[in-house]
Structure 1
Amino acid sequence: MNILALDTSGETASVAILRDETVLGEIFLDLGRNHSEILLPSIEHLLTATGLELMAIDVFACTVGPGSFTGIRIGVGTIKGLALAADRPVVGLSALEVLAMDAMGFQRKICPMIDARREQVYAGLYADNGSEGLICIIPEQLIKANEFLELIEGETVFTGTGAVKYRDIIQRGLTGKGFFVVGHRNRVHASTVGVLAGREALAGGLTDAVKLVPLYLRRSEAEEKMDRQC
């Protein structure tokens, strides 16, 4: 199964092509949020480098949020367009779940946190169930970091841009029980998106491209502004 996966949910962008769970190639860029300029050229480069044509891709996958509104729209729109052109199914994944998967292996609970600004984070809590994967303990939500910490007990591995930003708060709130992943693992990687997507596909989790929608845990600034004016 050939999988083309991407992530544009944050300031970084990444694209990967996998055959089952083997990564054939991956591009990871930390150039700010000009995803619309770099995404399609990156996809074209990877297809050429791997010797594959678009029609050789069996499954298209992307993160659908939470994260940057603009980035998510670009990623979802790109994957939908490619999948419709190739007449292939898609898999949409949570950026938090992808981060949590990359933090597995420590035999502790995992808390992915993405900086949502305004002193808030997108966060969830997962149990590392080894070969059986992740188990969601606390559903994803938009919340202040210190408030989410009140919901956590025991040793926990933290990952994501929110964990980096609020590391001091986490260390004070979970004295001796908060652990952190290495720098680059705090970012979402398309290769992990692809691995999860392949497993979802085998489990029957494929979706028609037209049904793929973004996951926004916060309303846009325009919507909030409109409410204030009413």
Structure 2
Amino acid sequence: MNQEHERNGDRAQGRILAFDTSTSSLAVAVMENGKVLAERNIHAERNHSAYLVEAIGEALAAAGVAKAELDGIAVGVGPGSYTGARIAVTTAKTLAWALSLPVYGVSSLEAIALGGWARGTAQDAAELGRALSAGPSGTLREDAPGQAADSTREPQAKEGSSGGSGHWIVPLVDARRGQAYTALFGAEAGMMPERLEPDGIRLMSVWTEQLSGLLEALAPEDRPSGVWFVGETALHEPAAEALRPLLGDALHLIPYELEGTWIGLTGTRRAGLRGGDDVHALEPNYTQLAEAEAKRLRER
């Protein structure tokens, strides 16, 4: 079987190199049809540029996959660290261009949501991978990964997507001054999360009030059986705990650092849903100006 036939036929998602550097965790994975062949996870806050290329090489070597055997590059575009997201996206674009491969920008928050929820519920990555190889599960709303949220509007969860046995996942990456990069996903056991609200930077006190209002608007039997705040939860625990009177034991806070497995599965899903991004136009999802740029604008 020749490589071209494998690319277009038997390997639906093919061999995907996926990585993310938008948080303190440097996460790399090599995937094949939803299966994790190898991963590398390094806590390298503010120093991703020194380790990323080496970690990619180590993961490929461990997987026994040469760069020429890859079918695509998936990269977390943030939101998160301004510099970190830029490092990953620049590296992904360079590799995709040099190897003539499609590049897939994915939401870092989606990967954090998946990984944190999977840890909290003891979900099996292999099971989710098999579901992906059979066909992408769940429905991905057609928001581009770089689309920022309007933090002033009320969340609008999809009808029928969150009630009863379902779960809500709220990924968190600290954005300082009481803010977090966050989003909202719905999930069912054995399935990939479904986006309910786009990525954005939100004031946590306002965000939890909005979530509370949305929950109160649901009949008790239609409320999610679990609401999971995952990721950088420590600084935002008081805001999340404001939902405790409403949710009781259904509220869960799971500290979590992104791992290669989950950026790999998120990238695999993205590769199976629609075509790649324009390698020249792909940009990080900053959601706000970098502090240096904001200062420059204020000075003007």
TM-score normalised according to structure 1 size: 0.91
The code of the aligned residue for 1:204 comes to: R
The 10-residue stretch of structure 1 (67-76 or 141-150) with the greater mean CA deviation from structure 2:
141-150
Q: CA offset at residue 211 of structure 1?
A: 2.7
2:59 counterpart (35, 41, 46): 46
Q: Structure 2 matches for 1:47-66, cutoff 5 A? A: 47-66=60-79
Give the total of aligned pairs: 226
Larger Rg: 2
Q: Structure 2 matches for 1:1-230, cutoff 5 A? A: 1-102=14-115, 103=117, 107-130=166-189, 133-152=192-211, 153=215, 155-161=226-232, 163-175=233-245, 176=248, 177-181=250-254, 183=255, 186-230=256-300
Report if aligned partners of 2:179, 2:201 keep a CA contact under 8 Å in 1: yes
Please give the per-residue CA displacement for 1:40-78, whole angstroms capped at 9, x wherever unaligned: 111112222222211111110110010000000100001
Report if aligned partners of 2:79, 2:200 keep a CA contact under 8 Å in 1: no
Unpaired runs of 5+ residues, structure 1, are: none
Unpaired runs of 5+ residues, structure 2, are: 1-13, 122-164, 216-222
Misfit runs of 4+, over 4 Å: 129-132
Q: CA offset at residue 217 of structure 1?
A: 0.8
TM-score normalised according to structure 2 size: 0.70
Q: Matched residue of 1:62: which SS?
A: strand
The 10-residue stretch of structure 1 (205-214 or 93-102) with the greater mean CA deviation from structure 2:
205-214
Identity %: 31
The code of the aligned residue for 2:210 comes to: L
Over the aligned positions, Cα root-mean-square deviation in angstroms equals 1.8
Q: CA offset at residue 129 of structure 1?
A: 4.4
Please give the per-residue CA displacement for 1:95-128, whole angstroms capped at 9, x wherever unaligned: 1111122215683211111101122101111111
Partner Cα distance (1:190, 1:87) in 2: 23
The 10-residue stretch of structure 1 (14-23 or 207-216) with the greater mean CA deviation from structure 2:
207-216
